[in-house]
């Protein structure tokens, strides 16, 4: 019998009312994007201080760190604990997929610098340019490496200085580091492969209502999603291939 694969999701954000109502929580959003039938997924609400015991880390085949409204460069106790756990996982060469805040946390743990985005925040559907020379054909990207990928983005911080040994896999007009990898076990994405248009629309409306963004910024975010969507299927495949150590067939 094939042993059941186990994955852990570190939720660095609380569930919004919308996500709870529509999807039953972010756990389901992530598992429906990155999970496959027959796998076991555990969620840990790290933003509330919930972490797995260190002795249990070995039972997981891979880990996903979500986005967050918190700054990855802050020193809240839960953020420092998350950094400690990531360091342990890195030493064990466990696969970690870092998304947005998670992407920045991995950069921080490995000695990079994270901080406020130099060219300001981003909240929209945008294209990131793939550094094709940095990706081996037949890797988790597959044999057909795209020139660019459309992805939904929501962030005000960025990786300012990459850790040593990190490879930039994608960049954009505004940000030098949209994707990076370290060795074969760390893969990081500034955008949100798990988001759909509805989730981002609701976030735009909410942050506008709370006064965090101006009306024209909200309008531009919605306009970016009007006539096209993110390359969700492609992003999902790349992330799954990475997490599960799949090498696509020719």
Instruction: Work out the burial of residue 54: count CB atoms within 10 Å of its CB; fewer than 13 is exposed, 13-18 middle, 19 or more buried.
Output: exposed
Among residues 12, 95, 84, the alpha carbon closest in space to that of 53 is found at: 84
Instruction: Work out the burial of residue 227: count CB atoms within 10 Å of its CB; fewer than 13 is exposed, 13-18 middle, 19 or more buried.
Output: exposed
Q: Are 241 and 248 in contact (CB under 8 A)?
A: yes
Among residues 29, 212, 185, the alpha carbon closest in space to that of 110 is found at: 185
Q: How far, in Å, CA of 141 to CA of 146, rounded?
A: 9
Exposure letters 115-151 (e unless 16+ CB within 10 A, then b): eebeeebbbbbbbbebbeebbeeebbbbeebbeebbb
Instruction: Please list the active-site residues.
Output: 100, 192, 194
Q: Are 58 and 52 in contact (CB under 8 A)?
A: no
Q: Are 226 and 120 in contact (CB under 8 A)?
A: no
Q: Are 11 and 52 in contact (CB under 8 A)?
A: no
């Amino acid at each position: 019998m094939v042993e059941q694969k186990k994955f852990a999701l570190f939720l660095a954000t609380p569930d919004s009312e919308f996500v709870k109502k529509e999807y039953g929580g972010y756990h389901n959003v992530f598992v429906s994007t990155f999970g496959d039938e027959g796998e076991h997924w555990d969620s840990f609400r790290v933003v509330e201080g919930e972490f797995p015991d260190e002795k249990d880390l070995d039972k997981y085949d891979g880990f996903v760190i979500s986005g967050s409204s918190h700054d990855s460069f802050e020193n809240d106790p839960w953020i420092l604990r998350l950094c400690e756990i990531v360091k342990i996982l890195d030493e064990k060469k466990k696969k970690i997929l870092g998304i947005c805040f998670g992407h920045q946390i991995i950069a921080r743990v490995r000695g990079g610098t994270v901080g406020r985005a130099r060219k300001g925040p981003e909240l929209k559907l945008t294209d990131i340019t793939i550094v094709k020379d940095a990706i081996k054909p037949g890797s988790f990207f597959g044999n057909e490496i795209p020139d660019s990928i459309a992805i939904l983005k929501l962030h005000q911080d960025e990786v300012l200085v990459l850790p040593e040994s990190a490879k930039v896999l994608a960049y954009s007009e505004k940000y030098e580091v949209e994707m990076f990898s370290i060795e074969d076990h760390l893969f990081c994405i500034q955008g949100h492969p798990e988001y759909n248009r509805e989730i981002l629309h609701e976030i735009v409306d909410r942050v506008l209502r709370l006064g965090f963004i101006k009306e024209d910024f909200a309008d531009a975010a919605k306009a970016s999603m009007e006539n096209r969507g993110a390359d969700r299927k492609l992003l999902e495949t790349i992330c799954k291939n990475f997490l599960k150590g799949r090498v696509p067939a020719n």
